Structure 1
Amino acid sequence: MEEKLVQAPIPRGLQKVLGVEPQRSSRAAAFTEAFLASSLQQPDNQDLKNLLTHKAVILGYTRPKKQRTKRSSKKAKGLTAQQKKALKVFQIRPEHQRYQLFLPLHDLWRQYVRDLCGGLRPSCSPQFVQQKLLKADLHGAIITVVRSKCPSYVGLSGILLQEFKHVFKIITAEDRLKVIPKRNSVFSVEIDGFVSHIFGSRFEQRASERSAKKFKVHGSIDL
């Protein structure tokens, strides 16, 4: 009760008797600002109005950027056809042209085809095996030329060492390296009693490209 009386404003009747004039809010604010400006020592660059209003100052912060190492945009380029020819990359040395030397490769190919077909059983469909062989890697397979426009190629048989887009390169049982064109030739491949025929004219592509190609089930081949 006493605190309210102390804080109560002076009645208007007593203001004239006491000689007290009511102060407006603007005059009080100006007096307070002038008093603080004269009594407080502040740096010259500090704004007194911002200090009195207690405004929060948000400082901008940016994280330092990490220096990224520049990666080379150039991809490693392979050898050109001329460089491969000069280095003789695809040539098989005469001392390596032996049929017995590549028999382990043929055994690996047979196991590879068995795994590819999920096991070759007598109950397997020949069409199923044929479709698997069309997209399989034939390196290591024993292929035989059954038909060809060139009579000298008919009957040749050997382990396939290299397959190019247009030719097969095989090693015969007589240790002879033969290059047979795919075009106008029919080849046979035998594994575990299943014999599949390959029409070379429809096989003129690289082994890596053949795995993604869709072959037609029916068709006619002209020799």
Structure 2
Amino acid sequence: MDCKTTVSGLLLKTKHFWFWFELRYCRYEQVEPLYKMWCDYFRGLIGDREQVLDERLLKADYHGALVLVAEAHSISMIGIVGIIVLETRQTFQLITKQDKYVVIPKRGTALQFVLYGRIFTLFGDAMRYKPSLRGKKHRLRVALPFFIR
């Protein structure tokens, strides 16, 4: 085993730990400016153009979005409201108004947000890819949430 690889791997794990540690102790008031910046970004993204909005929604960046967990496998997660501070391949990580750090799995989850008088719904199962790959058609074997059937 190469010594350099071991040291760099350890440094990477240490950096990841401190990033995660800082997010856990972040307060809601610290991430509110991120939400305001995200609103400006999203307004520019959707603009006045209505065509192909679905693809733009899938490829959008949701760091800073204020979302409500509308549907989840775990009943205790339904109704959580917070700002997305980190999006990974499998999770959304939120800071709530009560300054709690919450990890929401994407599988089986539907998030909603309201912006400019419109309600948007994001299905976590459709977002389990990098933003650049989300617009491509993949064959997902996913059961539709009960409120769509």
Question: TM-score, normalised to structure 1's length?
Answer: 0.53
Unmatched runs of 5 consecutive residues or more in structure 2: none
Distance in structure 1 (CA, Å) of the matches to 2:9 and 2:55:
32
Question: Which residue type is aligned with residue 185 of structure 1?
Answer: T
1:81–1:197 Cα change, 3 Å: farther
Amino acid at match of 1:175: D
Report the equivalent of 1:178: 102
Percent identity between matched residues is 29
Partner of 2:119: 195
Amino acid at match of 2:44: D
- Indicate if the aligned counterparts of 1:161 and 1:169 stay in contact, CA closer than 8 A: yes
Stretches of structure 1 lacking an aligned partner (at least 5 in a row): 1-76
Q: CA deviation at 1:131?
A: 3.1
1:94 Cα shift?
A: 7.0
The answer to whether the aligner puts 1:211 opposite 2:139 as a matched pair is no
Question: 1:83 and 1:194, CA in 2 relative to 1: closer, same or farther beyond 3 A?
Answer: farther
Supply the AA of the counterpart residue of 2:14: A
Q: Which structure is higher in strand share?
A: 2
Gap change, CA 1:132 and 1:214, over 3 Å in 2: closer
SS in 2 for 1:91: helix
The count of residues paired between Structure 1 and Structure 2 equals: 136
* Aligned counterparts, 1:74-223, within 5 A: 83-87=11-15, 88-93=17-22, 96-119=25-48, 125=50, 128-205=52-129, 209-215=130-136, 221-222=143-144
SS in 1 for 2:19: coil
1:159 counterpart letter in structure 2: I
In the alignment, the residues of structure 1 paired with residue 125 and residue 31 of structure 2 have an alpha-carbon distance, to the nearest angstrom, of 27
Query: What's the Cα RMSD here?
Result: 2.8
User: Which has more radius of gyration?
Assistant: 1
| TM-aligned CA deviation for residue 114 of structure 1 | 1.0
Q: Is the 8 A contact 1:199 1:221 kept in 2?
A: no
